[in-house]
Structure 1
Amino acid sequence: MGLWKGVRPAAKGWQLHQLDVNNAFLHGDLHEEGSGNSFVALLVYVDDVILASSDRDQIQQIKDHLHSTFQIKDLGNLRFFLGLEVARTQKGIAVNQRKYALDLLKETGFLSSKPVRTPMIQTSKLSQDTGTPLEENSQYRRLIGKLLYMTITRPDICFAIQQLSQFLDKPTTDHLQAAHRILRYVKNSPSKGIFFPANSSLKLRGFADSDWAACIDTRRSVTGFCMFLGEALISWKSKKQGTISRSSSEAEYKAMALAACEIQWLIYLLETLEVKMEGLAVLYSDSKSAIAIAENPVFHERTKHIEIDCHLIREKL
């Protein structure tokens, strides 16, 4: 959603319009492709529709056609969609969840809390055994779910939410306290979000990293990556790896493999949206040993135990 809604409309000067269907429809035929010289992208969620195109006349024709079929309400330029607030200037498009954040702070009683500057304490290492088990875990689960939705525009809390999501089954007082710290961090800047600059290029770059044996309970590593299209951040993830890595090099290599899969998916998506990339996609890593493994086509004793699917990065290279 964020990719075509932000980067290409911002970089290419596209129009963004929002529609609402008066009577939600459950059945119907969706013809995804048409013919003509103009390209129009539609995002449909139940009865909410977003139109994106550089051709204003084409947008109006689609509005007229939809109105004759479904009785739509034209909401004009895109400003608010599923809790996301969209603001556009000559410099680009900004997307945040300010109202959603303030509503969450009010609901949880943290609207007047003392703000903090970081979502987590850097030296904090949470585990399933720290703290006293909560008598009722539904409150913790609801809070983490609502914070998870905020990661759509808040990559700065992505790692912290990933950490706390591991304890949904049996949360403790320490886990709840850590979740409350995230609320206090959000209170510090509820309007923070992501920005798609209007002068951005269309070169795809990815950055991958890992935290070796970060999980105290399982000793599994954590993968982190972020993807940029030009100067715009379009994709990010923090995820615990599925298996234990026997070395930091292996953990870094697995992170590169996951990032390579994300790059491949983004390339397919860009092609579908008729976005022509500038040059080849580039993946960055700060691990010389992991880069050496990726560039070496020979399986040797130090790497043959790594899962076969991780070696897909060699094919991409």
Structure 2
Amino acid sequence: MTTIRTLLAIAAAKGWHLHQMDVNNAFLNGDLEEDVYMELPLGVAGQKDGQVCKLNKSLYGLKQASRQWNTKLCVALQKMGFKQSVPDNSLFTKGKGSSFVALLVYVDDIVVASSDLNLIKQIKVQLNDSFQIKDLGSLKYFLGLEIARQKKGVAVSQRKYALELLEETGFSDSKPVYSPTVPSHKLSKNEGDLLDDTTPYRRLVGKLLYLTITRPDISFATQQLAQFLDSPTNLHLQAAHRVLRYIKGAPGQGLFFPASSDLQLKAFSDADWGACVDSRKSVTGFCVFLGEALISWKSKKQATISKSSSEAEYRALASTTCEVQWLLYLLAEFGVHPAIPTAIYCDSKSAIAITENPVFHERTKHIEIDCHLVREKSHKGVIKLFHVSSANQLADILTKAHCPSTFYSYVSKLGLLNIYNPS
């Protein structure tokens, strides 16, 4: 999904055309490498007991069907001159400058982007010769994402998905709230009464996770709810219902990729030390912008316990550095080369000092690998750390709960837009 958001941000800034296609009966195109037999379906003339038939082509339902289809599509695209991307195998690129074409594949859904509309038409013809495709025209609806485009940029939302979720859970007419979490209450696995049926809670959290593709404002709340999938309680369900009431306030809110973006990377890294009341593990949060467009973010509990806030912040820096490095590789596939070093903003002076101090001591020797990673990228000029005040630390929204006024101040700086808002 980060690759999709990156493509949309670059297309908005460079004015590329965005089109989509769908392959008809994609899995039936796969060639089988193994001998696979199936029982004869009922109603076949002359059927006898114990008879089977050998498959020459792949069928829906076979375990290897998706892999065989992907292999055949990759071979066909490479014959057309496309190169498969190393950072993301679902991305294929061809050409340079005005003849550049980027093609994104998700099973049988294909998005193609280029500044040359005639080139896109040629690719559609070539693909149709190899597979029977359905030309869906300009990109408008892809994997549940609603894409709206105008001169100012590209807006992406999941309004239809959000409304269906509200209707399914019975919250279509609920009273909206202005923040998805309550700052004064931290969820714990030991509070509340266990639910008799955990399936609705798990289904709800799964759907909320998919909604975070365009809603970074609910990422922290959803991450917290996902910690209790094994044994949720009534209080966890109440917290999930609050997220639904927050979504009810603006179901059409989503990302906006402006056409005036400068295509320079910058990142914000933050951590909440000992945030988990059950394990005392910290929470990592980061968000990465391409110009003014938010393309990547994460809210995740750290794997190990940190002995200090500096250590927690430094582990978050390591995660942010890895994401920035991967994005630089990905952007190079699109022919975009941002100026380096990439600025990473951190609100911990001690974490920045650890990066600049080459000496390992008692407080840092147990996080030596993270130290080496961040220091190496810093010394090579890939990243540069800058201190930022907590009030301007945008990743703070991904690490802890906030009151509505503070929460709104952070959300307003993330580049979100609700095109369905009459105002």
Which band: TM-score by shorter chain? over 0.9
Whole-Å separation in 1 of the counterparts to 2:319 and 2:142: 30
Which amino acid is 2:19 matched to? H
**Residue of structure 2 equivalent to 1:255:** 316
Deviation per CA, 1:174-219: give whole Å up to 9, x if none.
Answer: 0000001100100000000000000001111010001010000000
Of 114, 136, 156 in structure 1, the residue corresponding to residue 175 of structure 2 is 114
Deviation per CA, 1:280-305: give whole Å up to 9, x if none.
Answer: 21111010000000111110122112
Deviation per CA, 1:147-194: give whole Å up to 9, x if none.
Answer: 000000000000001111000000000000000110010000000000
TM-score of the aligned structures, taking structure 1 as reference length? 0.97
User: Given the alignment of the two structures, is residue 204 of structure 1 paired with residue 265 of structure 2, yes or no?
Assistant: yes
TM-score of the aligned structures, taking structure 2 as reference length? 0.73
Q: Which runs of 5 or more structure 2 residues have no equivalent in the other structure?
A: 31-68, 84-92, 379-423
Report how many aligned residue pairs link the two structures: 317
Whole-Å separation in 2 of the counterparts to 1:243 and 1:307: 14
Pair 131,307 (structure 1): closer, same or farther in 2 beyond 3 Å: farther
**Residue of structure 2 equivalent to 1:130:** 191
Of 22, 25, 32 in structure 2, the residue corresponding to residue 23 of structure 1 is 25
CA shift at 1:123, angstroms?
Answer: 1.4
Which amino acid is 1:20 matched to? D
**Counterparts in 2 of 1:1-317, with a 5 A limit?**
1-25=3-27, 26=30, 27=69, 28-30=72-74, 31=78, 32-33=82-83, 36-37=95-96, 38-317=99-378
Kindly indicate whether the alpha-carbon contact (under 8 Å) linking 1:16 and 1:78 is maintained by their aligned counterparts in 2: yes
Q: CA RMSD in A?
A: 1.3
- Per the alignment, in what secondary structure is the counterpart of residue 270 of structure 2? strand
- Per the alignment, in what secondary structure is the counterpart of residue 163 of structure 1? helix
Kindly indicate whether the alpha-carbon contact (under 8 Å) linking 2:328 and 2:337 is maintained by their aligned counterparts in 1: no
Which amino acid is 2:297 matched to? W
Whole-Å separation in 2 of the counterparts to 1:140 and 1:121: 19
- Per the alignment, in what secondary structure is the counterpart of residue 305 of structure 1? helix
Which amino acid is 2:132 matched to? Q
Whole-Å separation in 1 of the counterparts to 2:108 and 2:377: 40
Kindly indicate whether the alpha-carbon contact (under 8 Å) linking 2:273 and 2:283 is maintained by their aligned counterparts in 1: yes
Q: Which runs of 5 or more structure 1 residues have no equivalent in the other structure?
A: none
Deviation per CA, 1:13-56: give whole Å up to 9, x if none.
Answer: 00000111222134314124276442211111222111111111
CA shift at 1:278, angstroms?
Answer: 3.1
Whole-Å separation in 2 of the counterparts to 1:307 and 1:220: 19
Structure with higher Rg: it is: 2
Kindly indicate whether the alpha-carbon contact (under 8 Å) linking 2:315 and 2:370 is maintained by their aligned counterparts in 1: no
- Per the alignment, in what secondary structure is the counterpart of residue 139 of structure 1? helix
Once the two structures are overlaid, the 10-residue window that deviates more, 72-81 or 28-37, is 28-37
Kindly indicate whether the alpha-carbon contact (under 8 Å) linking 2:155 and 2:255 is maintained by their aligned counterparts in 1: yes
Deviation per CA, 1:204-241: give whole Å up to 9, x if none.
Answer: 10100010100000001101000001110000000101
Over the matched positions of the two proteins, sequence identity in percent amounts to 64
Once the two structures are overlaid, the 10-residue window that deviates more, 25-34 or 42-51, is 25-34
- Per the alignment, in what secondary structure is the counterpart of residue 366 of structure 2? coil
